[in-house]
Amino acid sequence: MKKFINARIKGQEGLSQILVEHGKIMAVGEKLPPAEEKIDLKGKLVCAPYVDPHLHLDYVFTADMGEKNGSGTLFEGIQRWSESKGNTSVEEMKERIRRGIKKEMLQGVQAIRTHIDVTDPTFTGLKAALEVKSELKDLLDLQIVAFPQEGMYAYQGGAQLVEEALKMGADCVGAIPHYELAREFGEKSIHTTVELAMKYDRLIDVHCDETDDSMSRFLELLNALVLMEGIGSKTAASHTCSFGSADNSYAFRMMKLLKKSGINFISCPTENIYLQGRQDTYPKRRGLTRVKELNDQGINVCFAQDSMSDPWYPLGNGNMMMILDHGIHIAQMMSPEEIRNALDLVTVNGAKTMNLADYGVEVGKSANFIVLDAESEFEAVCERAQVLASVRKGEILFRREPAVVTEATDFLK
């Protein structure tokens, strides 16, 4: 038995104790029976671990691998990756994937959904990701999307490669309809995605309408199909940038249908504010989907990192608090209630999108949580609080000392 004391659990009043046995939360309360080991959390905010529901782990740290993405657009990013993706091996890929995961985990992430490019008949990325997933199974929930970066149809045999990847063990079906050579092929790829998900009983995560083109409306078809199959909650629409450019008369009608299916949304605020709007002069669009409005409707939305130094985006460090900070600014979500609930966008909402069952600081769940250097949700968000500890199945994955100011003048003490 182990007891964490002085925990300020997010959404609860006062300080709590958390009793852990065999990696599970046995009890949560003000005063619990003694345990052999006691860990003092010193009144800091405790919440369920960060979730990064959209990250391209096969691409991390490849920004310098080939020619630079001079235009800064999604499409040049795809071209640059295509030029250099043959120059790697499973071992090299595994080394980068581990490095990317380590960066995120040191920021309190314990669940990642990664898109792995399967438009590669050698399946280098998929083999590497599956091996790392199995290596880290006790430390991290890692979901793998069979993602056809160069298209299910634009790339010869792409749809077959996606199916093969599912047989090899990928958890989710991916697609990229806005990259297909004509709208009809984009639509066909959405039909194929849903068919494959039904055939192999997998989740769906589509790179959907990652463009400023307001007429890119593959979300409409994806939503309709998963609504009819009753698998909306197992489906995620990633990016959906064009929905931020769509006319209200269209968007308002869609909102009702999106709510009905229970589909999940993943927005990548730093990535899409950087990649989109590139063909605009001024006014320049923000490129994000309608995060605030979707959230207001009770539709599940979460934020993700997407990239760490790849041909699409040169920065990215796995710090979900930074993603959250950008996201709530770009989406204009700063009412007192929105700030109070902001952490949900990088925690529970991501977990819901990933269909994680064992998640949350609750009795019966695995003792997985993080400790933030703050005493309230407001302080955490306002100060971009650091993660002081990450606990997995009751074991400390790391602790971090808060930064200390030295040699302060009297006024600054």
Per-residue string for binding with ligand 17E, 125-164, x by CB under 6 A?
------------------------x---------------
- Binding partner selected for residue 150 from Fe ion, ligand 17E, none, CB under the kind-specific 5 to 8 Å limit: none
**Among residues 307, 309, 366, 386, the one that binds ligand 17E under rule CB under 6 A:** 307
- Binding partner selected for residue 210 from ligand 17E, Fe ion, none, CB under the kind-specific 5 to 8 Å limit: ligand 17E
301: tokens are 């939305």
Least gap, CB of 214 to ligand 17E (angstroms): 19
Least gap, CB of 70 to ligand 17E (angstroms): 16
Q: Quick one: which of 275, 257, 269 has its CA closest to 212?
A: 275
Least gap, CB of 113 to ligand 17E (angstroms): 13
To the query of whether residue 83 is one of the catalytic residues in this protein, the response is no
Least gap, CB of 204 to ligand 17E (angstroms): 16
Q: How many CB atoms lie within 10 A of CB 58?
A: 28
Per-residue string for binding with ligand 17E, 166-195, x by CB under 6 A?
----------x-------------------
DSSP state of 386: P
**Among residues 207, 217, 234, 286, the one that binds ligand 17E under rule CB under 6 A:** 207
DSSP state of 392: E
- The residue whose Cβ lies closest to ligand 17E is 312
- 373 binds ligand 17E per the rule CB under 6 A: no
The piece of 304-312, 344-352, 365-373, 387-395 that touches ligand 17E (CB under 6 A) is 304-312
How far apart are the C-alpha atoms of 38 and 33, rounded to whole Å? 11
The alpha carbon of 33 is separated from its chain's Cα centroid by a whole number of angstroms, namely 38
Least gap, CB of 267 to ligand 17E (angstroms): 11
Pairing of strands 109-117, 50-55: parallel
Find the catalytic residue in 150, 180, 210, 338. 210
- 306 binds ligand 17E per the rule CB under 6 A: yes
How far apart are the C-alpha atoms of 220 and 286, rounded to whole Å? 21
How far apart are the C-alpha atoms of 106 and 320, rounded to whole Å? 11
- Binding partner selected for residue 171 from Fe ion, ligand 17E, none, CB under the kind-specific 5 to 8 Å limit: none
- 312 binds ligand 17E per the rule CB under 6 A: yes
How far apart are the C-alpha atoms of 399 and 413, rounded to whole Å? 26
CA atoms 57, 220, 222, 257: torsion sign = positive
Helix (H, G, I), strand (E, B) or coil at 151: coil
Nearer to ligand 17E, 74 or 388 (CB): 74
328: tokens are 């709530």
Residue 231 vs residues 222, 260, 262, 302, 355: alpha-carbon distances, Å = 11, 11, 8, 18, 12
DSSP 250-300: HHHHHHHHHHHHT-EEEE-HHHHHHHTTTT--SS-------HHHHHHTT--
- Binding partner selected for residue 94 from ligand 17E, Fe ion, none, CB under the kind-specific 5 to 8 Å limit: none
Angle at 109 between CA 384 and CA 241, to 5 degrees: 75
Least gap, CB of 336 to ligand 17E (angstroms): 32
Per-residue string for binding with ligand 17E, 56-95, x by CB under 6 A?
x-----------------x---------------------
Least gap, CB of 282 to ligand 17E (angstroms): 24
Size of the site for ligand 17E (CB under 6 A): 10
How far apart are the C-alpha atoms of 49 and 60, rounded to whole Å? 22
Nearer to ligand 17E, 210 or 220 (CB): 210
- 245 binds ligand 17E per the rule CB under 6 A: no
Nearer to ligand 17E, 313 or 359 (CB): 313
Q: How many CA atoms lie within 13 A of 266 on its CB side?
A: 31
Per-residue string for binding with ligand 17E, 253-272, x by CB under 6 A?
------------------x-
How far apart are the C-alpha atoms of 306 and 241, rounded to whole Å? 14
b/e code 110-132 from CB counts within 10 Å (16+ = b) = bbbbbbbbbbbeebbbbbbbbeb
Least gap, CB of 311 to ligand 17E (angstroms): 8
The residues assigned a catalytic role are 210
Binding site for ligand 17E (CB under 6 A): 56, 74, 149, 176, 207, 210, 271, 306-307, 312
